[in-house]
């Protein structure tokens, strides 16, 4: 029976902040036969760097850990036994493992924590079925591991060494307090992540439809139903002129009668050769393009960063950048006519009406003196017509427009096509006011089954000592839906109509 092995990729704090390895509570994993501690290159490099940190505990612990790793390299045969049973714990050095290149857009391999996670992920990919976890006490690698679906084994608090205060630590504490005091005089940005409905959301997990186009056979079947229900007209009413006298006297100059004008050859030809064929063609185009028309009515996935300056100072020359990291792009969310289009049902136009002649009303004028008297009476009521002159519009000098120092402006300009990032700048980002909302829409290839990545919001300012950052993992699932059901329904609605 194969041994049950747990592979733990430890963070540096296992060697620096915890009790010696042989004193730790490995019984927590007693269901495994062996626990392999895999020391990767990022951790090894960080330990080598910290061993020169002076004579305080950080430097001392780093030098001890470095000595253990050095002994494994020179004399240990590839590993060191930390515990001999219940479970067996071995310490390995694996500098040959490299971070997974497929995660380079989601993880920042300039950061040791992300490099550790990427290395463990690569090991897990090469060893399917192996139980691989990140062993850490820090939230940074925990968050990165969760972002790429890598399990985490949190270091228990009881493994940690008790606090040690040295002169250097006291000095560091003083400096930290001074830095905190200075930062309290800076802008302080609070970034909240919201979904499209303005609800709090730590991550973006959504499902969007991809409508499948109708086949040629499906289009032909639906068009057959339409042409059967609305065939081209062959009768166009009476071809003989007629008239009828309504006997209604108007208030001004005579009586009203109606004259019937038959449909002209031009009207009949236009119906047969233009209007009816065009209507059929429009119906067919809508059915063939039904999947695209439906997708344009679906709201694009969107996300909102709500940002407020809760500090006691305005931010000077602030720059906010929103960046997409992954196989998708973004654009600022704009309110336009498309928002109304999303709520309009998809319909087919009614067929054109066949010409069948028209009854038209005409006036029979009074004659002789009576007619003249009426016309004179009308003219005396209105008098001479005249149009008053339009007063001249005074011209004012056009003053040059000045940017609002508290407003947000695109840098360099408003984005018109999807891209990986966009930025806005504000000369003076006011504090103590309501949050600004920065909304983005996602654009991606719908032929893929799923899209994943990271959406990041960064804020820089002249009087901000460190960048304000918020990140949200992105996972979009694409589901296929047949457009035929909707196309069939709009044909039913036309026929019932």
pLDDT in tens, 217-246: 999 999 999 999 999 998 887 877 877 766
Task: Give pLDDT, residue 374.
Answer: 55
Cα gap 476→383, rounded to integer Å: 75
Question: Does residue 304 lie within any of the structural domains?
Answer: yes
What is the rounded average pLDDT of the residues 370-378?
Answer: 54
What is the rounded average pLDDT of the residues 58-81?
Answer: 88
Which residues are paired to 321 by β-bridges?
Answer: 423, 458
Quick one: 113 and 194 in the same domain? no
What is the rounded average pLDDT of the residues 156-163?
Answer: 90
Cα gap 298→237, rounded to integer Å: 45
Question: Does residue 228 lie within any of the structural domains?
Answer: no
**DSSP code for 416:** -
What average pLDDT does the chain have? 86
Quick one: 315 and 460 in the same domain? yes
Task: Give pLDDT, residue 244.
Answer: 75
Question: Does residue 25 lie within any of the structural domains?
Answer: yes
What is the rounded average pLDDT of the residues 37-51?
Answer: 92
Percent of the chain with pLDDT over 70: 84
Question: Does residue 277 lie within any of the structural domains?
Answer: no
Residue 392 clears pLDDT 80, i.e. is over it: no
455 compared with 393, residue with greater pLDDT:
455
pLDDT bin (cut points 50, 70, 90) of residue 376 is low
What is the rounded average pLDDT of the residues 368-380?
Answer: 53
143-149: long-range contacts (C-beta < 8 A, 24 or more apart)? 144/107, 144/113, 144/114, 144/117, 145/117, 145/120, 147/106, 147/107, 147/454, 147/473, 148/103, 148/106, 148/107, 148/117, 148/118, 148/121
Percent of the chain with pLDDT over 90: 62
DSSP E strands: which ranges in 213-357?
242-249, 254-261, 302-309, 315-326, 329-332
Question: Does residue 269 lie within any of the structural domains?
Answer: no
pLDDT in tens, 251-271: 455 556 788 889 888 999 999
Quick one: 121 and 196 in the same domain? no
Provide the domain count of the chain.
2
Quick one: 67 and 205 in the same domain? no
Task: Give pLDDT, residue 364.
Answer: 57
Task: Give pLDDT, residue 115.
Answer: 94
| Boundaries of domain holding 421 | 189-211+295-347+405-485
Residue 388 clears pLDDT 90, i.e. is over it: no
pLDDT in tens, 169-195: 677 777 777 666 655 778 999 999 999
Residue 385 clears pLDDT 50, i.e. is over it: no
Quick one: 43 and 142 in the same domain? yes
pLDDT bin (cut points 50, 70, 90) of residue 367 is very low
483 compared with 51, residue with greater pLDDT:
483
Task: Give pLDDT, residue 43.
Answer: 94
Task: Give pLDDT, residue 180.
Answer: 65
pLDDT in tens, 111-157: 999 999 999 999 999 999 999 999 999 999 999 999 999 999 999 99
Quick one: 203 and 68 in the same domain? no
Quick one: 40 and 87 in the same domain? yes
Cα gap 53→113, rounded to integer Å: 20
Of 27-36, 305-314, 333-342, 426-435, minimum mean pLDDT range: 333-342
Find the angle CA(489)-CA(442)-CA(444) to the nearest 5 degrees: 75
The CATH number that applies at residue 39 is 3.40.50.1010
pLDDT bin (cut points 50, 70, 90) of residue 406 is very high
Task: Give pLDDT, residue 384.
Answer: 46
Question: Does residue 392 lie within any of the structural domains?
Answer: no
Residue 351 clears pLDDT 70, i.e. is over it: yes
Question: Does residue 115 lie within any of the structural domains?
Answer: yes
203 compared with 248, residue with greater pLDDT:
203
Quick one: 52 and 196 in the same domain? no
């Amino acid at each position: 029976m194969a041994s049950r092995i747990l592979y733990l990729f430890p963070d540096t704090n296992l060697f620096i902040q915890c009790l010696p390895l042989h004193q730790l509570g490995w019984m927590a994993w007693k269901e495994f036969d062996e626990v392999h501690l895999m020391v990767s290159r990022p951790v090894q490099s960080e330990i080598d760097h910290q061993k020169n940190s002076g004579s305080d505990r950080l430097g001392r612990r780093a030098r001890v850990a470095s000595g253990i790793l050095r002994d494994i390299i020179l004399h240990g045969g590839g590993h060191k036994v930390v515990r001999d049973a219940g479970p067996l714990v071995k310490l390995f050095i694996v500098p040959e493992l490299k971070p997974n290149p497929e995660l380079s857009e989601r993880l920042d391999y300039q950061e040791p924590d992300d490099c550790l996670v990427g290395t463990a992920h690569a090991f897990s990919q090469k060893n399917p079925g192996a139980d691989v976890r990140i062993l850490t006490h820090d939230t940074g690698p925990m968050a990165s591991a969760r972002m790429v679906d890598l399990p985490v084994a949190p270091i228990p608090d009881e493994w940690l060494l008790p606090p040690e205060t040295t002169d250097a630590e006291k000095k560091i504490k003083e400096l930290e307090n001074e830095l905190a005091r200075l930062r309290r005089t800076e802008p302080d940005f609070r970034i909240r992540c919201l979904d499209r409905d303005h609800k709090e959301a730590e991550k973006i997990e959504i499902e969007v439809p991809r409508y499948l186009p109708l086949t040629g056979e499906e289009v032909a079947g639906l068009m057959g139903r339409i042409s059967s229900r609305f065939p081209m007209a062959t009768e166009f009413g009476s071809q003989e002129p007629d008239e009828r006298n309504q006997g209604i006297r108007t208030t001004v100059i005579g009586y009203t009668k109606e004259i019937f004008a038959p449909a002209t050859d031009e009207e009949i030809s236009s119906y047969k050769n233009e209007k009816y064929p065009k209507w059929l063609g429009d119906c067919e185009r809508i059915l063939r393009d039904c999947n695209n028309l439906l997708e344009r009515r679906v709201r694009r996935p969107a996300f909102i960063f709500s940002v407020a300056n809760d500090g006691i100072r305005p931010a000077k020359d602030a720059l906010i950048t929103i960046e997409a990291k992954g196989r998708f792009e973004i654009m600022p969310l704009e309110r336009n006519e498309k928002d109304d289009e999303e709520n309009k049902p998809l319909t087919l136009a009614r067929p054109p009406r066949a010409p069948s002649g028209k009854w038209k009303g005409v006036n029979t004028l009074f004659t002789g003196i009576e007619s003249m008297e009426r016309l004179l009476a009308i003219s005396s009521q209105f008098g001479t017509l005249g149009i008053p002159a339009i007063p001249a519009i005074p011209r004012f000098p056009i003053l040059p427009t000045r940017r609002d120092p508290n407003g947000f402006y695109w840098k360099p300009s408003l984005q018109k096509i999807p891209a990986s990032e966009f930025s806005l700048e504000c000369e003076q980002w006011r504090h103590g006011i309501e949050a600004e909302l920065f909304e983005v829409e996602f654009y991606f290839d719908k032929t893929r089954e799923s899209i994943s990545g990271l959406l990041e919001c960064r804020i820089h300012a002249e009087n901000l000592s460190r960048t304000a950052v918020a990140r949200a993992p992105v996972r979009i699932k694409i589901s296929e839906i047949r457009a035929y059901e909707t196309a069939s329904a709009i044909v039913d609605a036309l026929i019932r109509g």
